[in-house]
Amino acid sequence: MLLNLKRSADIIVSSFFLLVLSPLLLITGVIIKVTMPGPLFFRQRRVGMHQKLFDILKFRSMKVDRSAEESFDFDKDEERITSFGRLIRRLKIDELPQLLNVLKGDMSLVGPRPTIEQQVEEYDAYQRRRLDVKPGMTGLAQVNGNTYLTWEERIEYDIEYVDTHSLKQDVGIILKTILIVLFGEGNFKKTERKISKG
What DSSP string describes 63-130? Answer: ---HHHHHHT-HHHHHHHB-HHHHHHHHTTGGGTTHHHHHHHTS-EEESSPPB-HHHHTT--TTGGGG
- Rounded Cα gap, residues 161 and 7, in angstroms: 16
- Rounded Cα gap, residues 86 and 84, in angstroms: 5
* pLDDT tens for the chain, residues 1 to 198: 777 899 999 999 999 999 999 999 999 999 999 998 899 999 999 999 999 999 999 999 998 765 444 445 555 566 779 999 999 999 999 999 999 999 999 999 999 999 999 999 999 999 999 999 999 999 999 999 888 899 999 999 999 999 999 999 999 999 999 999 988 776 666 555 555 545
Sign for the pseudo-dihedral over CA of 70, 72, 75, 81: positive
CB 195 within 8 Å of CB 156 = yes
Tell me: the pLDDT tens digits for 73-112? 555 566 779 999 999 999 999 999 999 999 999 999 999 9
What does the DSSP 8-state code read for residue 13?
Answer: H
pLDDT at 68: 44
Q: What is the pTM of this model?
A: 0.85
* Phi, psi (rounded to 5 degrees) for 182: -75, -40
165 three-state secondary structure: coil
Q: Where are the domains of the chain?
A: 2-188
pLDDT at 187: 64
